Amino acid sequence: MRRYGGDDPGPRPPADAPTLLLHVGPDVVGCVALAAEGEIGEIKRMFVVEAARGRGHSRVLLAGVEELAVRHGVTLLRLVTGIEQPEAMALYSSSGYELIPGFGYWGDEPATRCYAKRLDPARAAG
């Protein structure tokens, strides 16, 4: 919010969206939600508190939401991030996500970047 000056005006994840919380000791330091519709899923609201950044927590959350997506039958996982989040863009690129054309609510917004990654359904077997 600090970079953008307020809350995200975009659509919220469904109230029943699977959500992961990342705890360090008793503290919640991060979260991420999955909005899934059939084989297409979208990462929503991935966030790590500022004091806990730079410790790999985003990678843990990303791996967790990918595993969650596979268990929900998702084969294509996509997301939208803002251009003022270079750390997030670097994370997604280094984690196998590729830039895709804009989609959804933010599809035509020049200050966003959209990414997607094909998931391996065999990962759900383990």
Rounded CA gap, 53 and 22, in Å? 12
What are the angstrom distances between the C-alpha of 47 and each of 11, 32, 58, 68, 103?
Answer: 16, 6, 8, 17, 21
**What is the CATH class of 19-120?**
alpha beta
* Model confidence pLDDT, tens digit, residues 18-56: 999 999 999 999 999 999 999 999 999 999 999 999 999
* Model confidence pLDDT, tens digit, residues 74-123: 999 999 999 999 999 999 999 999 999 999 998 899 999 999 999 998 87
The ranges assigned to domains in the chain are 19-120
Model pTM score = 0.87
